[in-house]
Amino acid sequence: MTAGERFAEWFGLELFQRYGAQLLDGLLLTLQLVALSSSVGMVLGVLLALGRTSRWRSLQYGCRAYVYFFRGSPLLAQLFLIYYGLGSFHGFWRDLGLWGWFGDPWFCALLAFTLNTAAYQAEIFRGGLLSVPRAHYEAATALGLNRTTTFFKVTMPQVLIVTVGPLGNELILIIKASAIVSLVTLLDLMGVAKLAFSRTFDFQVYVWVALVYLLVVECVRRGVNRLDRRLTQHLRPTDE
């Protein structure tokens, strides 16, 4: 064995030759799932947070129950509940013409992740909403701003400033948690790794995949830091 071959074996380079393209596809699937579920979950999370802070009691309790359930049970259980549990009513879904969705592991995973992250993000946003001082709402009222303008121009920018850090954490958690979708037959990054391992019994594939997750998380961390710095520029003294 030449030195080059030894090196290639040691670093599992032939793994890349055989599974590289699939691993890339898996990574793309992971990123798609995370991006879609986080952004839809963000909209849902804001609505849930508004519900939790609203004056309307029944809405408050409804949103609280939602958050209570989705934060209080394992994400894996929620995924199985949707994929196997709701999937078992295939007659019903077929009648509604929705079997194409609920029979599809990709859609079920997306649904589970969206519903789950929405609950966590709702709690983050609720904290953000409560941090905006009443005085700012009074100033907005005194200026004649209506509720929509106040929400988008006064409330939300301030909420985003305090929530960008926690939201970044939640995004990182979701990226890592997304590995469990491999359990419902999806070939995400982890799914491809499992497949490759089952065929080659070369554990290095897990090392490489872990490094890819690490890299993705590092990119997110940097992005969030940069965003945070941009959003909080008003808190720093000027250089003028």
Partner 1 sequence: MGSSMQLKRLICPPAPVVIDVEGLSKWYGPYQVLHGIDLRVVQGERIVLCGTSGSGKSTLIRCLNRLEPAQQGRIQVLGADVSASPTHCRAALREVGMVFQGFNLFPHLTVLQNCVLAPVAVRGMPRDSAQDQAMALLKKVGIDQHWKKYPSQLSGGQQQRVAIARALCMAPKIMLFDEPTSALDPEAVGEVLDVMVMLAESGMTLLCVTHEMGFARQVAGRVLFLDGGRIIEDQPPEAFFTAPQTPRAQAFLAQVLG
130 vs 214, beta carbon nearer partner 1: 130
Residue at token pair 């905006």 = 132
Binding flag, residue 198, partner 1 (CB under 8 A): no
Q: Which stretch binds partner 1 (CB under 8 A): 23-31, 49-57, 87-95, 137-145?
A: 137-145
Binding flag, residue 233, partner 1 (CB under 8 A): yes
Q: Which stretch binds partner 1 (CB under 8 A): 61-69, 97-105, 146-154, 187-195?
A: 146-154
User: 60 CB contacts (<8 Å, ≥6 apart)?
Assistant: 51, 52, 53, 54
Binding flag, residue 95, partner 1 (CB under 8 A): no
Binding flag, residue 97, partner 1 (CB under 8 A): no
- Asked if residue 177 lies in contact with residue 75, where contact means CB atoms within 8 angstroms, the answer is yes
Distance, in Å, from the CA atom of 95 to the CA atom of 131, rounded to the nearest integer, reads: 47
Q: What angle do CA 180, 37, 35 make, to 5 degrees?
A: 95
Out of 5, 14, 138, 218, the residue judged to bind partner 1 by CB under 8 A: 138
Out of 21, 24, 36, 139, the residue judged to bind partner 1 by CB under 8 A: 139
106 vs 137, beta carbon nearer partner 1: 137
Residue at token pair 């030759």 = 17
Distance of CA 221 to the CA centre of its chain: 14
Binding flag, residue 91, partner 1 (CB under 8 A): no
- Would you give the end-to-end CA distance of the chain in angstroms? 65
Q: Which stretch binds partner 1 (CB under 8 A): 42-50, 76-84, 100-108, 232-240?
A: 232-240
Q: Which stretch binds partner 1 (CB under 8 A): 14-22, 62-70, 117-125, 134-142?
A: 134-142
Half-sphere exposure of 73 (CA within 13 A, CB side): 16
**Least gap, CB of 144 to partner 1 (angstroms):** 4
Distance, in Å, from the CA atom of 109 to the CA atom of 122, rounded to the nearest integer, reads: 20
For residues 160 to 179, the per-residue mask of contacts with partner 1, x marking binding by CB under 8 A and - elsewhere, is -x------------------
User: 192 CB contacts (<8 Å, ≥6 apart)?
Assistant: 19, 22, 23, 25, 26, 209
Q: Phi then psi for 64, rounded to 5 degrees?
A: -65, -40
- Residues near partner 1, by CB under 8 A: 135-136, 138-139, 141-146, 149, 153-154, 157-158, 161, 231, 233-235, 237-238, 240
